[in-house]
Chain A
Amino acid sequence: MAAVSQSFKTELLGAIPSLRAFAVSLTQNADRADDLVQETLVKAWDKHESFQPGTNLKAWLFTILRNEFYSQMRKRGREVQDSDGIMTARLAVHPAQHGQLDLKDFRGALEQLPEDQREAIILIGASGFSYEEAAEICGCAVGTIKSRVSRARARLQEILKISGEDEFGPDAISAQVTGSNAA
């Protein structure tokens, strides 16, 4: 077995902040997230020979972390949430006030998403992966990722009571603010 190269170790270290962010997004729990990252690092170390240099290490690590997360969930006997079967159970609370959405409210809304939708919107909207990479990480079709992202987005808008925000929201508001300041 070849030794783990120094550069591999350096890259692992560099990936830790992203891995932790993804882990927290999945688990919604800081302690569990760090345990998950630790497991991921150990697995990555053991399997380092299966990583192909020149390919995306971050995507490879995210795949390991995600597999570990779902296998832990299965071990705990927890049903993996299936977004299709989920009712819009908990209703949200705070309407977005004039586009000034509180981060805490956003976090709460994100937490209400089924895992598959949450991970899809995080991978695409925050971690900076392409649809193809996200599909690879989640082991599903590109179209599946696309539909999860769009359902996640719709659900978040619903929970946060944002509607038709994209086209005119922020512009209209800043125009209003400018207007009232001028008066």
Chain B
Amino acid sequence: MKEMSKKQMADAEKRHRNGDGNPLGANSEIARKLKQYYDELVSDHVPDRFAQLLSQLEQAEPAQKKD
């Protein structure tokens, strides 16, 4: 029991120290779910339309003089 509370205190201290870095608390359920939610969105397959769009924009640029 004593050991456990020691560990908890250490963890809390660690969180406190990192507190400024992650305002949500690195180990909080909210912080983890938020990350999971967002990472899933970021890793979603990017449709081709965006690469095509950039190529179109590039081709549409007026011819440039090299300088």
Residues of A within 8 A of B (CB): 1-4, 9, 12-13, 16-18, 20-21, 24-25, 34, 37-38, 41-42, 45, 96, 99, 101, 103, 106-107, 110, 121-122, 124-127, 131, 146, 149-150, 153, 156-157, 160, 162, 165-171, 175
Contacts and interface: CB of A to CB of B under 8 A. Distances in A.
B contact face: mostly helix, strand, loop, or mixed: helix
B54 A12 contact: yes
Interface residues of B, number: 39
18 contacts: A20-B46, A24-B41, A25-B41, A99-B29, A103-B37, A106-B37, A121-B34, A124-B23, A125-B24, A125-B30, A125-B34, A146-B23, A160-B29, A162-B30, A165-B29, A169-B29, A171-B8, A171-B11
Contact of A156 (B22, B30, B58, B64): B30
Interface of B: 4, 7-8, 11-12, 15, 22-25, 27-31, 33-44, 46-47, 49-51, 53-54, 57-58, 61-62, 64
